């Protein structure tokens, strides 16, 4: 059985959260910018607080850019705090420094509009964050089930990250920048909300 089916059968997600498994494909397959924005809002509402993500895709271009700028700053500050506060062995200091460098590179690429490299770097950052939070468990075959049991939204987020990895691996350069931007923005929003 696939993970979404298992999560639903085992009641690891609420009825509302079940919709995430249906909404993500709508986001990926959207044919127009408006339908993609609508699907992104619906999906982000399931992973975060309903109504909050709308501000990053609606309104005037100047307003959206200012809000996204603030979101990126909050994201960077939250991830930096997580990296600095997470206990690591002395031997892991280089990995910690590398992660801070990756965070800075991600922010720079996203702000500059280098969507593909920023997308890939975001997925790698999300995986590194999982490793910081959960150690070796983050590489275990049952990691997602573990996350769903801790918090369904956490499980949905890391399921989402896995879907992004799979999508990038299978479709690569075929993915449109509009989709990659929206998917990255959703991920940044969710991690900024934890």
Across residues 6-33, what is the average pLDDT?
80
* Mean residue pLDDT across the chain: 89
pLDDT at position 5 is: 59
pLDDT digits (tens, 9 = 90+) for 164-176: 999 988 887 788 9
Of the pLDDT bands very low, low, confident and very high (cuts 50, 70, 90), residue 7 is low
pLDDT at position 1 is: 40
How many CA atoms are closer than 13 Å to the CA of 178, on its beta-carbon side?
Answer: 13
- Judged by DSSP in three states, 10 sits in coil
pLDDT digits (tens, 9 = 90+) for 144-163: 889 888 888 898 999 999 99
Residues 6+ positions from 180 with CB-CB distance below 8 Å = 115, 116, 119
- Give alpha helix (H) positions in 89-151: 93-112, 115-134, 143-150
Return the percentage of the chain with pLDDT > 90, whole number: 64
> Which sequence spans correspond to the domains of the chain?
3-193
Instruction: Answer whether 191's CB lies under 8 Å from 71's CB.
Output: no
pLDDT greater than 90 at residue 93: no
Six-digit token pair at 114?
A: 């280098």
Instruction: Answer whether 27's CB lies under 8 Å from 182's CB.
Output: yes
pLDDT digits (tens, 9 = 90+) for 105-126: 999 999 999 999 999 999 999 9
Across residues 115-139, what is the average pLDDT?
92
pLDDT digits (tens, 9 = 90+) for 53-92: 999 999 899 999 999 999 999 999 999 998 888 766 776 7
């Amino acid at each position: 059985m696939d993970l979404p089916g298992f999560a639903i059968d085992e009641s690891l997600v609420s009825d509302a959260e079940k919709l995430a498994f249906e909404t993500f494909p709508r986001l990926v397959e959207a044919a127009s910018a408006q339908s993609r924005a609508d699907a992104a809002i619906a999906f982000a509402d399931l992973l975060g607080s309903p109504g909050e993500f709308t501000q990053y895709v609606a309104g005037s271009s100047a307003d959206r850019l200012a809000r996204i700028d603030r979101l990126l700053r909050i994201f960077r500050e939250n991830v930096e705090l997580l990296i600095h506060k997470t206990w690591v062995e002395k031997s892991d200091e280089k990995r910690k420094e590398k992660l801070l460098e990756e965070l800075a590179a991600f922010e720079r690429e996203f702000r500059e509009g280098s969507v593909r490299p920023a997308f890939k770097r975001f997925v790698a950052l999300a995986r590194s964050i999982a490793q910081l939070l959960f150690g070796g468990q983050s590489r275990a075959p049952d990691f997602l089930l573990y996350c769903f049991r801790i918090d369904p939204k956490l499980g949905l987020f890391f399921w989402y990250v896995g879907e992004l990895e799979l999508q990038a691996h299978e479709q690569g350069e075929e993915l449109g920048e509009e989709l990659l931007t929206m998917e990255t923005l959703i991920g940044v929003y969710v991690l900024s909300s934890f």
